[in-house]
Amino acid sequence: MNEKYVKDIRAFNRFYTNVIGLLDQYILDSKYSLPEVRVLYELYHSEGLTASDIISRLKIDKGYLSRLILQFQKKKLVMKKISATDGRSAHLHLTTAGKLEFEQLNRSSHAQVKGILADLSETQCKALTTHMNAIRKILSDKTI
């Protein structure tokens, strides 16, 4: 493997994490960390996931996810429903408060990206998104 590729990717990762504020303890000027927001995202877009489903999608540690879900339950953002077919399994659902919380985070993320794009020309926006889609395709084809 060419070490320059590794160096270039790591440099880009450092740059981009600064652009979108991932180094802050809480993202989008919220009270949530990136892993918390990603779990809320998954539950918002795929109602009734199990913890195993989330672990598989996010490659998140089981113990860490368990603690996040417990915190969300205490804040009344998430509720568990025992599976009708397997009493050992619970399906996770956002409460109304959880949905509203995620929707606010989603609006903030949308506004953040609009702000990033605001000073770019149409040509630059098209080039940026074309390259991002190419990166996603290359890495998705390799990992699937």
Q: What is the pTM of this model?
A: 0.86
What domains can be seen in the chain, in order of their start residue?
31-143 (1.10.10.10)
* Per-residue confidence in pLDDT tens, the chain, 144 aa: 689 999 999 999 999 988 888 888 888 889 999 999 999 999 999 989 999 999 999 999 999 999 999 999 999 999 999 988 877 889 999 999 999 999 999 999 999 999 999 999 999 999 999 999 999 999 998 654
**Got the DSSP string for the chain?**
--HHHHHHHHHHHHHHHHHTTTTSSSSTTSS--HHHHHHHHHHHHSTTB-HHHHHHHH---HHHHHHHHHHHHHTTSEEEEE-SS-TT-EEEEE-HHHHHHHHHHHHHHHHHHHHHHTTS-HHHHHHHHHHHHHHHHHHHHHH-
